[in-house]
Chains A and B, each alone.
Chain A
Amino acid sequence: MTLNPISAPVDSASEFHKIQSRPASIEVKNISVAFKTPKGTFTAIQDIDLTIQKGEIVALIGHSGCGKSTLMGTISGMTQPTSGTVMANGNLVKGPGPDRGIVFQNYSLLPWLSVYQNIYEAVDSVFKGKTSAEKREITEENLKMVNLWPHKDKLPGQLSGGMKQRVAIARAFAINPSILLLDEPFGALDALTKGSMHIELLKLWNLDNRNKTIVMVTHDIEEAIFLSDRVVVMNNGPAATIKEIVDVRLPRPRNKKDIVHDPAYMEIHDRLMGLLFDKFSIEDD
């Protein structure tokens, strides 16, 4: 079987993904985050409300610096909100937890550990009850998933940006969290690798009967539509809020090549472009 990462159907199940009847996975309630800076407090995001159902894939888009990573930080528990609360799987978020796998925007690999060890240490730390053979197997599986098994002994400094990103993705997947928080996970990848990573992400999601909730920040509108059930568009900061949430009611499995000709796709695409670029027009004569 040959796998064409771009045009192959990505899902095996054909039934339309029903999410509205599911319980909430992430509840962001009236969140504000202000940072103390030498010039006074800087409010990055303000009064954000967002409920994400279990099994939903949500994309977060907005201009650079608007507060996407900050919002992700409050969900992951890495950032304490100044006011408001976040619930994840029904529990109040007080800090990071193994139920939420994070891919940081800047990869955050430990430079003195090999690719293999970077993943193994995370696996080892989360699956305390498993034997080391089981933990090694999980590590191997996930490294193979991102095609980095041949590079397992390299140090992060010897990897390209895209390879580092794939290590970070494998690490987040390896701990098998019910919520995946991906901050521009595919940003440094070329189109082809990006395409196969999309497939891998959806495969993983299908494998678990679409029970995993995925929130991802992206600057790529096509990627956002192809992958997600809803696209959250944020305003520009400071004190950024949610501008609009666009539903992506395209049936799954979606085919990357065909989907772009779907009128519904084009409508969503135009809507998102409009939301992101309403203030800009190119002056050209």
Chain B
Amino acid sequence: MKKLLNIQTYLPLLFGIGSAVILIGAWWGISLLTNREIPSPLMTWSVFNEMLATPFYDYGPNDKGIGNQLISSLIRVFSGFGLGSLVAIPLGLLIGSSKTAFRLINPIIQILRPVSPLAWFPLGLLAFKAAEGATIFIIFVTSVWPTLINTAFGVASIPQDHKNVAKAYGFSRWKYIIKVIIPFALPHIITGLRLSIGVAWMVIVAGEMLSGGVGIGFFVWDSWNALSLEKILSAILIIGTVGLLLDKGFDWLQKRFAFA
């Protein structure tokens, strides 16, 4: 009973309401200042509700529900991200444990990492002869780096103590990888994956604007062509929320696999 009356219990909720008020207030202000050229939260809300009422309708290739768009985007993101992780984790384990591999591969990482995802798009088109493949390719090529770098860093920072155990008790190479390297690097790997999925989710919108088809990025572009700013704002909210959920998911994983 005492707990229910305690202000501490409600603080997170109060702060949550507080940030919502600030966001909506600022949005409203901007909407008023631009003479409703930017739609107000209320106008957006009704469109948003309409969109969510029938998320999976399908009226042909250029008119699909927001749920369909999201699913298409998520499939692309997870394909590119999954492929990227399949490359990044083993490669990271390798360059983290071998100085030679690190010195050979690190310069390549340093040069390729800062390249904008859009610069890869034409190469993707050339390689896959299709927009779909090219989009997954740019997700792959941009989401590979955080996981790769974090994995390598994790492996390289294994304390001498842990190496000593493996050395003193003659662990085989395989046992060393499975029982020492991977468990130690796992929290770092998950941090990398968390950063990578964030990058992938940012890149998908830009990628789909270029590639067209079905997807949340294309939906934003299509809404712009139809001059529906309410839809664009709704899409931004949805993109943000999905991004947050993805991040929370990996945050949960991170906590789940933290030892000690």
Could you tell me which A residues sit within 8 Å of B by CB distance? 76, 78, 95-98, 102, 104, 106, 108-113, 121-122, 124-126, 155-157, 171, 175
Q: Are B179 and A110 in contact (CB under 8 A)?
A: yes
Q: Judging by beta carbons under 8 Å apart, are A78 and B167 in contact?
A: yes
Q: Is the CB of A122 within 8 A of B169?
A: yes
The interface-forming segment of B65-73, B158-166, B198-206 is B158-166
Closest A-chain residue to B159, C-beta based? A108
Q: Once bound together, how far apart are the Cα atoms of A156 and B260, in whole Å?
A: 7
Q: Are A125 and B161 in contact (CB under 8 A)?
A: no
Is A111 a contact partner of B259 (Cβ separation < 8 A)?
Answer: yes
Contact B162 A175 (CB under 8 A): no
Task: Give which listed residue, A106, A112, A121, contacts B161 with CB less than 8 A.
Answer: A106
Contacts A125-B172, A175-B169 known; A104 to B260 CB distance under 8 Å? no
A125 touching B175, Cβ below 8 Å: yes
Residue in B closest to A124 when the chains form the complex, CB atoms: B175
> Is B164 a contact of A108 with CB atoms below 8 Å?
yes
Residues of A within 8 A of B260 (CB): 111-112, 155-157
- Please report the total number of B residues contacting A with Cβ < 8 Å: 17
List B residues 166-189 near A (Cβ within 8 Å).
Answer: 167-172, 175, 179-180, 183-184
What are the residues of chain B within 8 A of A155 when measuring CB–CB? 259-260
Residue of B nearest to A118 (CB): B165
Q: Are A121 and B164 neighbours in the complex by a CB distance under 8 Å?
A: no
Q: Are B183 and A121 in contact (CB under 8 A)?
A: no
B179/A98 in contact, CB under 8 A: no
Across-interface contacts of B161 in A (CB, < 8 A): 104, 106, 108
Q: Taking A78-B164, A110-B183, A112-B183 as contacts, is the C-beta distance between A121 and B175 under 8 angstroms?
A: yes
A112 close to B259 (CB less than 8 A) = yes
Chain B nearest CB: distance from A281 CB in Å?
39
9 of the cross-chain contacts (CB-CB < 8 Å) are: A78-B168, A96-B170, A108-B162, A108-B165, A108-B168, A112-B183, A121-B169, A121-B171, A126-B169
Q: In the docked arrangement, what's the CA distance between A156 and B183, Å?
A: 14
Q: Give, as a whole number of angstroms, the nearest-CB distance from B170 to chain A.
A: 5
Residues on B with beta carbons closer than 8 Å to the beta carbon of A124: 175
Cα distance, A20 to B32, chains bound together (Å): 99
Secondary structure of the B contact surface, majority rule: helix
Complex-state Cα separation, A78 to B166, whole angstroms: 11
Complex CA distance for A97 and B260, rounded to whole angstroms: 29
A122 to B176 Cα, complex, angstroms: 11
Is B183 a contact of A102 with CB atoms below 8 Å?
A: no
B183 CB contacts on chain A under 8 angstroms: 110, 112-113
Chain B nearest CB, measured from A212 CB (Å)? 17
Max chain A Cβ within 10 angstroms of own Cβ: one of B169, B175, B180? B169
**Which of the listed residues A97, A121, A156 has the most CB atoms from chain B within 10 Å of its own CB?**
A121
- Cα-based distance from A124 to B161 in the complex (angstroms): 20
CA separation between A157 and B259, bound complex, in Å? 8
A110–B164 Cα gap in the complex (Å)? 10
| 4 residue pairs, one from A and one from B, having the closest CB atoms | A112-B183, A122-B169, A112-B259, A157-B260
Are A110 and B162 within 8 A (Cβ)?
Answer: yes
**A78-B167, A96-B170, A126-B169 provided; 12 other pairs, C-beta below 8 A?**
A95-B167, A96-B169, A97-B170, A109-B165, A110-B179, A111-B259, A111-B260, A125-B170, A125-B175, A155-B260, A156-B260, A157-B260
When the two chains form their complex, are residues A96 and B167 in contact, meaning their CB atoms are under 8 A apart? yes
Cβ-defined contact, B259 with A98, below 8 A: no
CA distance A95 to B183 in the complex (A): 25
A110 to chain B, nearest CB (A): 6
Across the interface, name the chain A residue whose C-beta is closest to B179. A121
Instruction: Tell me the smallest distance from the CB of A183 to a CB of chain B, in Å.
Output: 11
The residue in chain B whose Cβ has the minimal distance to the Cβ of A174 is B169
Q: What is the bound-complex CA distance between A117 and B170, given in angstroms?
A: 15
Which residues on the B side are within 8 Å of A96 (C-beta)?
A: 167-170
Task: State the CA gap A111–B169 with chains docked (Å).
Answer: 16
Q: Which residues of B contact A97 (CB under 8 A)?
A: 170
B172 to chain A: which residues have CB within 8 Å? 125
- A111 / chain B contacts, CB cutoff of 8 Å: 259-260
Shortest beta-carbon distance, B150 to chain A, in Å? 18
State how many angstroms separate the Cβ of A59 from the closest Cβ of chain B: 21
Given known contacts A155-B259, A157-B259, A110 and B180 CB-to-CB distance under 8 angstroms: yes
Q: What's the Cα separation between A102 and B168 when bound, in Å?
A: 7
In the bound complex, CA of A76 to CA of B165 (Å): 12
